[in-house]
């Protein structure tokens, strides 16, 4: 058996910043600390913070007045920020800067009178936050069929934005459908899909042909991890999304299998290493690391934490 370890994999700069922010908040302000939504979409990460005394909430009114709350990496709508002020909360904004970029684009397009077509998954925290910036200007589409159903005239003043964690291939098809229906449509100067999402997808595309099975570390509610599994399956490979080594099933493999092991942008590296240990101990597997693209991106801590002495 051989395991090919994809690189880049795992934590992106936005997730590193968000997790470090919550750790620093615990250090500076002690617990209980509240997090508005899961800090990142990864069950083991969330459970680790719960053990440290972090309380995750889905409504801002669940946070006691005057308490400390940290916004997740996926961003929040303006109404949540306003509610935090009314409740006298110490708010720490750990929104990924690439998500903030999409929020600013939504605000700009709305001010300029555009109807904004947001490509994303309904109910995803990031989509909810972006929509909240201009709720009366945004229409959500999830696929090309949705594009045809848009209640807009052909000459409408329209612009598009995308959720940052989507599949590059998936969005290309939807954007092409939008441009066919609305040739005048405007879009962001740079693709909104984040660098880390693109790089992890590229690694799957480059390496899938060499392997028999693809394993992706990530949680079921992680959009970018789900996309990695879909990309592998689109290339005819059995692919499985797992939270950790205890979810691996031996029947997925043969003794001579070549396995591609990677991780979504919110999955920690220790889970990857545990899987490698499993394959070495159970199957005597060898390991080869394959670097598809280098990453050297980092984001500063939120202003609220940089100002703490």
Query: Catalytic positions, please?
Result: 126
Integer Cα distance of 93 and 73 in angstroms: 8
Integer Cα distance of 140 and 107 in angstroms: 16
Full DSSP string of 173-227:
HHHHHHHHH-TT-B--SS-SS-HHHHHHHHHHHHHGGG-SEEEEE--TT-HHHHH
Name the 3-class secondary structure at 299: coil
Residue 278 contacts by C-beta under 8 Å, 6 or more apart in sequence? 245, 248
Cβ burial of 256 (10 Å; 0-12, 13-18, 19+) is exposed
For residue 50, what are its two tokens?
Answer: 């719960």
């Amino acid at each position: 058996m051989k395991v090919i370890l994809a690189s880049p994999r795992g934590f992106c700069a936005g997730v590193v910043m968000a997790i470090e922010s919550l750790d620093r908040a615990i250090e500076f302000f002690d617990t209980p600390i509240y997090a508005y939504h899961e800090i990142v979409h990864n069950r083991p990460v969330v459970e680790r913070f719960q053990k440290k005394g972090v309380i995750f909430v889905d409504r801002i009114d669940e946070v006691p007045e005057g308490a400390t709350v940290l916004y997740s990496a996926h961003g929040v709508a303006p109404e949540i920020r306003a509610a935090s002020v009314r409740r006298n909360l110490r708010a720490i904004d750990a929104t990924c800067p690439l998500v903030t970029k999409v929020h600013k684009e939504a605000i700009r397009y709305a001010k300029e009178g555009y109807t904004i077509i947001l490509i994303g998954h309904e109910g995803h925290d990031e989509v909810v936050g972006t929509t909240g910036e201009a709720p009366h200007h945004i229409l959500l589409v999830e696929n090309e069929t949705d594009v045809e159903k848009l209640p807009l005239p052909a000459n409408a003043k329209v612009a598009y934005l995308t959720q940052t964690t989507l599949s590059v291939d998936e969005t290309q098809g939807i954007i092409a459908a939008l441009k066919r229906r609305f040739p005048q449509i405007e879009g962001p100067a740079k693709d909104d899909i984040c660098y880390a999402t693109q790089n992890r997808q590229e690694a799957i595309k480059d390496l899938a042909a060499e392997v028999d099975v693809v394993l992706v570390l990530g949680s079921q509610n992680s959009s970018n991890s789900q996309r990695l599994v879909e990309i592998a399956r689109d290339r005819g490979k059995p692919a499985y999304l797992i939270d950790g080594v205890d979810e691996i099933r031996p029947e997925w493999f043969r003794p001579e299998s070549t396995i591609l092991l990677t991780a979504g942008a919110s999955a920690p590296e220790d889970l990857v290493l545990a899987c490698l240990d499993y394959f070495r101990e159970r199957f005597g597997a060898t390991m080869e690391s394959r670097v598809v693209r280098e990453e050297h991106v980092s984001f500063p801590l939120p202003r609220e934490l940089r100002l703490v002495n």
